[in-house]
Structure formats: C-alpha cells, structure tokens
Structure 1
Amino acid sequence: MKAPVSEPSSLKAALAGDCPRCGSRTLFAGWVTFAKTCRNCGLDLDSFNVGDGPAAFLIFIVGAITVVGALVVDGAFSPPWWVHLVWIPVATALTVGGLRFSKAWLLAQEYRHRAREGRIAE
C-alpha cells in the first residue's frame, strides 16, 4: 500500500474514474461497477452507499434529451420512422456515460464529506 500524496477534487475523480483518496484509476471494475477496494491505497469502496440516486436522475435527464431531440428532428426534417432508431444508441451512451460519472462523483463526495450509513452501536 502506498501512502496517498494528495486527494483529487471530486470532479476530477469522477471524470477520470479515480480513487477519491489517492487519485489512481482504480475506482471501477467494470463500466459502471465499482471495484471492491482501491488496488493502490486499499480504500474500501464497498463501504460507500451510492444507491440508485444517480440512476433515478439520469432517467429524467436522458429521457428529456432523447424525447426533445426526437421531436426536433421529426418536426424539422420529417424523416422516415427508422431514422429515429439513432436515439437508441444515443440514449444508451448518455445513460452509461452519465451513470459512470454520477456514481463516481457521488462516491467522491461521500468520501470527501465522510458520509457513511448509520450504524447502531453494539
């Protein structure tokens, strides 16, 4: 385990997928799945509870962008119906990219503000 040099900002950590403690690119194990621990500094990433908050907001944001985009394209160009199939990969990319960013930002904010789930003392 290496000692942390300086903690990155929450925004930088979220954009790059960095560990909020040491800044190494060890936050994600998959596209939107967090690693269990940071391979560099050993931060327990399982102890953070990001939950479904980012996904709930993204449903509204990506849905609004997709619907408005489809209506504008349809109103301006009146294309055949199959042209609107382009919105499937657009919505998918916005969802995956947005979910990755928002989950990483929320985890970094939880780390920075030392937010944890309440535990009952035994």
Structure 2
Amino acid sequence: MTDTDETERPIKPAMLRGWRRRCPNCGSGPLLTGYLKVRESCAVCGEELHHHRADDGPAYVTIIIVGHLMAPLLLWVFTKYQPDPWILSTSFAIGCVALSLYLLPRLKGVFVAIQWAKRMHGFGLPEHV
C-alpha cells in the first residue's frame, strides 16, 4: 500500500525509524536486507523503498561524525596519557572502524527515511506514474 495523497509525513518519527533500520512508513518491517542493501519494499506494509538515492551521503556523514568525535579524543588521550604510538594508533584505528561500522547502516536508514518523508525521488507518487 502506497501513500499517494499529499498528506504531510512527519520527518522526526521517520528518521527515528530509519535510525533503527526499520521501514519509515510503518516502523515494523526491516529496511535493509543485508548490511547496506535497501529492500525493494517493506515486508510488513508493502511501502516501496526502491526509490531511494542514498548513494554516498551516509558515508560522508559517517566520516564527518567519526572524525569530529575521534580527532579531539585522540588529541586528549595523547596529551593526557602519552601512550606509545603503536598503542595509540592501533586503538584509535579499531575505534574508528568500529564506530564507522555502527553508524553507516543507521545513517543510511536516516537518509532513506528523510527522502521518504519529503517525497523525494519518487516516494509517494501514484503507482501508474
């Protein structure tokens, strides 16, 4: 079932559903089939999800968030504790990779949810168009 009228779709609940990697329409069905692949349609409500154009946006935002969190933390740890360089680089490399792997699918869900809520890229169009 596709929402074809011009009623407003609230963006905040849609973004929270996307963060949880759930369908932005119903919040019950899974949004992703794998780690980053978006389903063609929701298994619960039938909302078509193939219209999304998330592309590289989630990756860019992930890089910005990880960089802005880890860079000050790296500076603070280095100045306060002065660990050996190999310990510092290894621990922060693992931390950056782990944080990136955590954020990337959630941010992709948020991007898809924003597009759905704003009716971008074909979301909300009648089926015959």
TM class by smaller structure? 0.7 to 0.9
Matched, 1:72 2:76: yes
Which residue among 103, 110, 116 is the counterpart of 2:121?
Answer: 116
Which residue among 82, 89, 92 is the counterpart of 2:94?
Answer: 89
| Structure 1, unpaired ranges of 5+ | 2-6, 118-122
| Structure 2, unpaired ranges of 5+ | 2-9, 123-129
Residue in structure 1 matched with residue 111 of structure 2 by the alignment:
106
Superposition pairs for residues 1-80 of structure 1, below 5 Å? 9-80=13-84
Return 76-85 or 54-63, whichever deviates more: 54-63
Distance in 1 between residues matched to 2:67 and 2:14, nearest whole Å: 26
Letter of the 2:108 partner, please give it.
Answer: K
Distance in 2 between residues matched to 1:15 and 1:59, nearest whole Å: 17
Deviation of 1:115 (Å): 0.9
What TM-score do the two structures reach when normalised by structure 1? 0.77
Letter of the 1:114 partner, please give it.
Answer: R
**Does structure 1 retain, via aligned residues, the 8 Å contact 2:18–2:110?**
yes
Distance in 1 between residues matched to 2:113 and 2:64, nearest whole Å: 23
Distance in 2 between residues matched to 1:43 and 1:16, nearest whole Å: 17
**Does structure 2 retain, via aligned residues, the 8 Å contact 1:37–1:46?**
yes
RMSD (CA atoms)? 2.2
**Does structure 1 retain, via aligned residues, the 8 Å contact 2:22–2:31?**
yes
Residue in structure 2 matched with residue 4 of structure 1 by the alignment:
none
Taking a change above 3 Å as real, the CA distance of residues 31 and 94 of structure 1, as seen in their structure-2 partners, is same
